[in-house]
């Protein structure tokens, strides 16, 4: 029986991925998560849960030695692009150094394929829609870390032969998203505020454009990629094709949730103004991909959110730079 590692498997995307792997195969799935953004209740009952962090090199080596993983799906990250400017050390330790521990162990223990969820943050401000052949120009510490891991996988494959697949998802939303995290995931933030009757905070004029991707659309391709040698060594954009402004999003979320609250615009923050991708390459390799409309996806998430209820937003404790930190984040 194959053993598979899913890092970040108690989190949003990772838990859905672990579920899919378990429910569509007979592998032993090990979930590694420090529960900084995930929850035990997200973990499939058939998964083996190990509480720990990818920054713990000794733990990583112990797990690889014990389970001799066939495949690694690396999703563990702190994916707050805007906040990453203010938590540089934390960002690089968790998003880069931790990833290196996993890559090293994958080489040493002969992993057959390493699947990595990067981000469209690697593109920065770029030609739209963004395609995989564009030169990356990351503009925040998070994007820099993700791109560094991509390059590490490339050179590790060249020198040591480690097969890999890289996915660049964007603005993923849906059931199990941590709506209590006020630093990332605008849909979750909006829904959490609406439940509490709080204002929707929008940075700048709200005309910035994203394409919001429903969680259940992206999982099958990621899960299936490691066993398909055609995908090895490839980079894929993955997610929705439909651009939406933040202003439009706010209106649609309120309509679907059936409650209006005030919208408050605050000073814009440093971010890429418009970011959305082309997915023609992904669809060529994964022709069964089907996209859920934003309305249908939001309806599904709303049903889940109303059942779960509001979550208290915790302040990030280890801010390293406070200059120019948005007041709503302080």
User: Catalytic site residues?
Assistant: 142
> 177 with 187: CB under 8 angstroms?
yes
Please tell me whether residue 197 adopts helix, strand or coil conformation: coil
Q: Residue 115: what are its φ and ψ, rounded to 5°?
A: -100, 130
DSSP 8-state code for residue 130: B
> If you write DSSP's letter for every residue of 297-329 in order, what string do you get?
HHHHHHHHHHHH---PPPPPS--S--TT--GGG
Helix (H) or strand (E) holding 58: helix 57-67
Question: How far lies 82's CA from each of 13, 87, 324, in Å?
Answer: 20, 10, 11
Q: Which helix (H) or strand (E) holds 3?
A: strand 3-7
How far apart (Å, rounded) are the C-alpha atoms in residues 153 and 163?
Answer: 8
- Crossing angle (nearest 10°) for helices 246-257 and 294-308: 50
How many Cα atoms are found within 13 Å in the side-chain-facing hemisphere of 239? 28
CA 214 – CA 292 distance, rounded (Å): 6
């Amino acid at each position: 029986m194959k053993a598979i590692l899913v890092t970040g498997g108690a989190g949003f995307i990772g838990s859905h991925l672990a579920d899919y792997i378990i429910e569509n195969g007979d592998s032993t799935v090990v979930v590694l998560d420090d529960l900084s953004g995930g929850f035990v209740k997200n973990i499939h009952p058939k998964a083996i849960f190990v509480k720990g962090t990818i920054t713990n090199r000794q733990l990583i080596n112990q797990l690889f030695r014990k389970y001799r993983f066939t495949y690694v799906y690396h999703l563990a990250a702190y994916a707050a692009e805007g906040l990453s400017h203010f938590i540089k050390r934390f960002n690089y330790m968790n998003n880069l150094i931790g990833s290196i521990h996993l890559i090293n162990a994958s080489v040493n223990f002969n992993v057959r394929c390493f699947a990595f969820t990067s981000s469209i943050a690697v593109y920065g401000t770029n030609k739209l829609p963004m395609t995989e052949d564009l030169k990356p120009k990351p503009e925040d510490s998070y994007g820099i870390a993700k791109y560094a891991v991509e390059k590490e996988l490339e050179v590790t494959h060249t020198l040591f032969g480690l097969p890999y697949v890289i996915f660049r998802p964007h603005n993923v939303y849906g059931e199990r998203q941590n709506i209590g995290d006020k630093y990332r995931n605008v849909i979750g933030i909006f829904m959490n505020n609406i439940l509490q009757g709080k204002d929707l905070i929008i940075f700048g004029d709200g005309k910035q454009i994203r394409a919001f991707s429903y969680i259940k659309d992206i999982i099958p391709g990621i899960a299936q990629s490691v066993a398909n040698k055609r995908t090895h060594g490839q980079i894929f954009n993955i997610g929705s094709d439909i651009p939406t402004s933040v202003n439009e999003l706010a209106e649609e979320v309120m309509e679907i949730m059936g409650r209006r609250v005030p919208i408050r615009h605050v000073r814009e923050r440093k971010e890429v103004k418009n970011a959305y991708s082309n997915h023609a390459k992904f669809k060529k390799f994964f022709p069964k991909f089907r996209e859920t409309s934003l309305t249908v996806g939001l309806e599904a998430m709303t049903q889940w959110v109303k059942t779960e209820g509001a979550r208290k937003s915790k302040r990030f404790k280890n801010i390293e730079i406070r200059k120019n930190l948005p007041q709503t984040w302080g």
